């Protein structure tokens, strides 16, 4: 645990980035839950939002352990993606496929960020934490993709 309190500045910056994308993802999943007219998908999206909120909280703890103020808000890019999701779902009458397609785009983004940070932190003690979160992120990504494919036809 002591090594987790002496992370490199670049590693802390990577954690800050993952906090932002998890906040964006949490907000995006909550927004998707509000937009879809399917109780099962709504429940799934809310569970995903809770997971991403939990991930951001876990990462905040490590940033704070390194005497830094942890991020507490998302990005402008995330806000724009939620706006696009809102517009697209309204134009397509809250269609599950449209909402899932946008959710998958968001999942592609967060999965890519985790992959980059995993590579950047491969020699860091925080890598195990990030790898554990990544496995769950990838699982949700794949489930969203599969649900999107099911609703396509």
Per-domain residue ranges of the chain: 2-152
What's the pLDDT score for residue 62? Answer: 95
| Cβ atoms within 10 Å, residue 21 | 27
Residues in the chain predicted with pLDDT less than 50, given as ranges, are 1, 81-84, 87, 89, 91
What's this model's pTM, rounded to 2 decimal places?
Answer: 0.86
What's the pLDDT score for residue 136? Answer: 98
- CATH number assigned to the domain with residue range 2-152, chosen from the 4 options 3.40.50.12780, 1.20.1260.10, 1.10.10.10, 3.40.228.10: 1.20.1260.10
**And the tokens for 23?**
């906040």
- Report in angstroms the alpha-carbon separations of 49 from 21, 45, 71, 81, 108: 12, 6, 17, 15, 16
What's the pLDDT score for residue 83? Answer: 46
What's the pLDDT score for residue 76? Answer: 53
Helices (H) and strands (E) in the chain, counts: 5, 0
């Amino acid at each position: 645990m002591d090594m987790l309190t002496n992370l490199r500045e670049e590693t802390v910056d990577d954690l800050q980035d993952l906090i932002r994308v998890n906040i964006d993802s949490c907000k995006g999943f909550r927004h998707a839950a509000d937009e879809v007219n399917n109780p099962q998908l709504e429940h799934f999206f809310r569970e995903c939002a809770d997971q991403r909120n939990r991930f951001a909280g876990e990462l905040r703890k490590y940033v704070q352990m390194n005497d830094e103020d942890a991020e507490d808000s998302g990005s402008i890019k995330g806000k724009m993606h939620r706006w696009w999701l809102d517009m697209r779902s309204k134009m397509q009458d809250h269609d599950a496929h449209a909402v899932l397609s946008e959710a998958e785009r968001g999942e592609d983004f967060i999965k890519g960020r985790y992959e980059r940070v995993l590579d950047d932190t491969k020699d860091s003690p925080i890598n195990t934490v990030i790898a554990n979160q990544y496995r769950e992120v990838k699982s949700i990504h794949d489930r969203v993709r599969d649900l999107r494919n099911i609703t396509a036809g």
